[in-house]
Each structure stands twice: as structure tokens, then as C-alpha cells.
Amino acid sequence: MANILEVSNLCAYYTEGRQIGFHKKNRKQVCKDISFQIKEGEIAGLIGESGCGKTTLVKTILGMNKEYTGEIKHYSEQPQMVFQDPYSSLNPAKKVGWIVEEPLRVKGGISKEDMHRKAIEMLKKVGLDEKFAERYPSQLSGGQRQRVCIATALMLEPKLLIADEPVSALDVTIQAQIIHLLLQLHKDMGLAILFISHDLRVVYQISDWVMIMKEGTIVERGTAEEVYANPQNSYTKTLIKTLADADEV
């Protein structure tokens, strides 16, 4: 399989505050010399605690953060994103149908009738029937909102979907349903997915291979089974032990 994303020697930064007079802005390095590739139709997991640099890495890949060195190569159209909090990702003043149509509206070159038809098709693909098109986000459950976010992200038929903590705001039962949906979409649409979480158990369920991130650096990588069964890095070993201890309680 061909690569769909290549990240080479990436160092990402962000600048705090703004420059006032002769006082310089404070530039901080967040990601340190990160390299990896994702192949077509592959699910890669990225695991790390809050503040380790996962979100900065994603923003840099998506072109939202311009402060970086190294190289990012996309071999498809721009990847799309599913965020952690489905409610804040949706315009509360618009109905679901309008929200799902929005990527096509921005792209242009498609009639209103075709936009509506494609939106209904995508809602059905994520497990929501057409009546949901007439509802507002406030009328949906958390799991239904996340399905709408996934539908919206897939409207431009990306080959790579980046899911940033997409189930952490949901209860365990709904988490399982969303993971099952992503696996089904991965199979049906040939999607590659970069699945990001702080929860090793969730990543293990969905990923072909995983990266462990600590303090802006990838400290371990391998298949989900390898990393889970035989961790090499001390940080990964701590994550596995914490998970095992929780299971024994």
C-alpha cells in the first residue's frame, strides 16, 4: 500500500502572547523530531497524556500551525478532522442537514438538490435516518452529535480522517458504538485513520499500529499487540501497568 501521509523530522512550535515594545514573544517547542508514515486504508493510533503535544501535532499536519520545521507530505486531498467535543464542533443555530451540507457549500459547484441528497446519504451511512436533518444539535444525544461530526467530515470523501479524542466525551457504551462505526466506515470507504487518545485501551481496540507520545516525542511504536503485550519504553510500561491495575480493581 502507498503512503497517504508522511511526516519527517517534524519539530513544531507555538508562540505565547504578543510582542510589546522590545519584549520578545516566548516561543516554545512542542513536538520534537517526529517522523512517521500512514498508508492507505491503515488505522494508526497516537497515545499520550494531555499536554504531551498531540493536538499541536495534529494542527501542524492540518496546516493550522505554521510554526514548524521538517516536512509534511500529503498524498491525497486535505485530510478531515473529527474533534473531541461534538457539541462545540456544531453550529447550534443551524439544523443538522445544513451542517452536513456545509463542506460541499464551501467547495461549490454542486446544486442544492445534490447537496441535500448527499447529506441524507451520509447521515444514513453513519446510522442516522433523514429525519435527523431537520433537528438542531441541542436535540441530539452526545453519540448522535458525534455521528453528525463524522458525517460532515466525510462529505468531501477524504482518504485520511484524523480523529482527535473522538470518544473521550462519551460514556463507555456510546464509545463502543462510535468505534464500531469508525471501523465500519474504514472498511466500506477504504479510509485511513489517525486515531488520537490518551486511553490505551480504546486505541488498542481500533488501531493496526500505535505510537506512544511523551513530552513532544514519540518514545515507542509498533503494532497494537506488540506495544500492549511487550512494551519497551519505561513510560509505556507505566501506562500498561496502570491499565492492568485498573482492571484488577
Q: Residue 19 — pLDDT band, cuts 50, 70, 90?
A: low
Residue 188 CB partners (closer than 8 Å, separation 6+): 125
What does the pLDDT read at residue 155? 96
What does the pLDDT read at residue 169? 80
Is residue 246 over pLDDT 60? no
- The pLDDT of 199-221, averaged and rounded, is 92
CATH topology of domain 1-79+159-249: Rossmann fold (3.40.50)
Is residue 94 over pLDDT 90? yes
What does the pLDDT read at residue 249? 41
What does the pLDDT read at residue 244? 63
pTM score, two decimals?
0.90
Q: Residue 145 — pLDDT band, cuts 50, 70, 90?
A: very high
Residue-wise pLDDT tens digits, 112-130: 999 999 999 999 999 999 9
DSSP H helices, 32-171, are: 54-61, 96-107, 112-125, 142-154
CA distances to 66, 67, 132, 153, 197 from 116, in Å? 35, 38, 13, 15, 33
- The pLDDT of 160-186, averaged and rounded, is 92
Residue-wise pLDDT tens digits, 46-67: 998 888 999 899 999 999 999 9
142 — phi, psi (to 5°)? -60, -45
Q: Residue 6 — pLDDT band, cuts 50, 70, 90?
A: very high
Region(s) of the chain under CATH 3.40.50.300: 1-79+159-249
Q: Residue 23 — pLDDT band, cuts 50, 70, 90?
A: low
Is residue 206 over pLDDT 70? yes
